[in-house]
């Protein structure tokens, strides 16, 4: 298929008709909020490699933003996004608007309970309700074989996996590694908000998490000690304001008093008004 053949649509009937022309084919799906970076493109590439058809959605979902958050200023550049996706051989881009996704009278929500209580869920109430609701809608619209998410939003990947298992969605959730800038900063559409000094300061997230991994490798297993050490590193950066630092179980997301053979280290930090998140997984090495 030539790159120019990529379909761009905001029509549900067009999407469905295309999807069901080859009902038994495999469809990879990458839901995004646009303003694509290398992280998103790595998902599209993985989907391209694993499926006969690839669908990417671009939709800045209002129900996952709190009124105080950056919905209106969230960066958008559809033309650039489409050019990038053409370059990855994507077959169809679904780019709906709010009137299509949340028509008057909309009143149905999907909620995941325990997995959304801590971390991002604690800092951003209703955030995950918005995520799971729009992802359920997109899953039902695209009906993909596999859906691709980045590890960068680690809790989101856990919550989506839980939703897929609990509601018996007929698809596989694939979580792909976080893509980073050369200096370690996790790629994020929100990095665009950073001034040059803030951009420099933002490396504190990945430096802190890596330090946590080193402490774990050196044998530290006490959750409180690990969190305190990492918190100290964040607080040493004058442009950073800590939201949370976590040493949790990678599946249950429960904070760990004592680390066993695996953990997820995660943090949310304000750099100026920009809220950044990052995480790293740790596993004990085989003896």
Specify whether 249 is catalytic.
no
Are residues 277 and 266 in contact, defined by beta-carbon separation less than 8 angstroms? yes
CA distances for 97 relative to 9, 54, 59, 146, angstroms: 11, 21, 7, 24
Q: To the nearest whole angstrom, how small is the minimum distance from the Cβ of residue 283 to a copy of itself?
A: 22
Q: Does 152 bind a copy of itself (CB under 8 A)?
A: no
Among 68, 72, 170, 258, which residue interacts with a copy of itself (rule: CB under 8 A)? 170
Residue 64 as a binder of a copy of itself (CB under 8 A): the answer is no
> Does the protein bind a copy of itself through residue 61 (CB under 8 A)?
no
Per CB under 8 A, 16 contacts a copy of itself: yes
Q: Considering only residues 81 through 110, tell me which ones interact with a copy of itself, judged by CB under 8 A.
A: 105-110
- 270 touching a copy of itself, by CB under 8 A: no
Q: What stretches of 218-278 show up as alpha helix (H) in DSSP?
A: 223-235
Cα dist. 66→69, 101, 194 in Å? 5, 18, 21
Q: Which of 37, 40, 211, 249 is catalytic?
A: 40
CB 277 within 8 A of CB 152: yes
Angle of the 204-217 helix axis to the 223-235 helix axis, nearest 10: 150
Using rule CB under 8 A, residue 274 touches a copy of itself: no
3 state DSSP class of 39 = helix
Fill in the per-residue mask, 105 to 134: x = in contact with a copy of itself (CB under 8 A), - = not in contact. xxxxxxxxxxx----------------xx-
23 binds a copy of itself (CB under 8 A): yes
Minimum CB separation of residue 68 from a copy of itself in Å reads 23
**How big is the site for a copy of itself, counted in residues (CB under 8 A)?**
30
Q: Is 245 in the site for a copy of itself (CB under 8 A)?
A: no
Nearer to a copy of itself, 36 or 136 (CB): 136
CA dist., res. 138 & res. 142, Å (int): 6
SS3 label, residue 84: helix
- Among residues 237, 238, 241, the alpha carbon closest in space to that of 267 is found at 241
Taking the least distance from each CB to a copy of itself, the nearer of 110 and 174 is: 110
Question: Which of the residues 197 through 226 are near a copy of itself (CB under 8 A)?
Answer: none
For residue 158, state whether it binds a copy of itself (rule: CB under 8 A): no
Q: Which is nearer to a copy of itself, 42 or 63 (CB)?
A: 63
| Minimum CB distance to a copy of itself, residue 250 (Å) | 14
Could you tell me if residue 286 is left (phi over 0), alpha (psi between -120 and 50 degrees) or otherwise beta? beta
CB neighbour list of residue 249: distance below 8 Å, 6 or more residues apart: 256, 262, 263, 264
Give the Cα separation of 159 and 78 in Å (integer).
Answer: 28
Which of the residues are catalytic?
Answer: 40
Residues lying near a copy of itself in the complex (CB under 8 A): 12, 16, 20, 23-24, 105-115, 132-133, 136-137, 140-141, 143, 162-163, 166-170
């Amino acid at each position: 298929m030539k790159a120019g053949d990529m379909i761009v649509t905001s029509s549900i009937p067009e999407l469905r008709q295309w999807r069901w022309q080859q009902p038994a084919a495999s469809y990879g799906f990458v839901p995004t909020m646009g303003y694509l970076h290398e992280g998103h493109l790595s998902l599209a590439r993985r989907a391209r490699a694993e499926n006969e058809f690839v669908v990417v959605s671009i939709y800045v979902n209002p129900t996952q933003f709190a009124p105080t958050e950056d919905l209106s200023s969230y960066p958008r550049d559809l033309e650039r996004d489409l050019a990038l996706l053409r370059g990855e051989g994507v077959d169809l881009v679904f780019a709906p608007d709010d009137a299509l996704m949340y028509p008057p009278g909309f009143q149905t929500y999907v909620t995941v309970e325990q997995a959304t209580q801590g971390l991002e869920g604690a800092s951003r109430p209703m955030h995950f309700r918005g995520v799971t609701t729009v992802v359920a809608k997109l899953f039902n619209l695209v009906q993909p074989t596999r859906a691709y998410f980045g590890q960068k939003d680690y809790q989101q990947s856990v919550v989506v996996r839980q939703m897929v298992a609990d509601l018996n969605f007929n698809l596989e959730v694939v979580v792909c590694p976080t893509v980073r800038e050369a200096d370690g900063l996790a790629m994020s559409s929100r990095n665009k908000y950073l001034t040059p000094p803030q951009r420099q300061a933002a490396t504190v997230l990945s430096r802190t998490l890596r330090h946590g991994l080193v402490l774990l490798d050196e044998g530290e297993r006490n959750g409180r000690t690990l969190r305190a050490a990492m918190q100290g590193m964040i607080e040493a950066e004058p442009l950073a304001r800590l939201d949370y630092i976590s040493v949790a179980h990678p599946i249950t997301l429960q904070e760990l008093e004592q680390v066993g053979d695996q953990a997820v280290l995660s943090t949310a930090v304000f750099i100026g008004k920009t809220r950044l998140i990052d995480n790293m997984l740790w596993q004990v090495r085989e003896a």
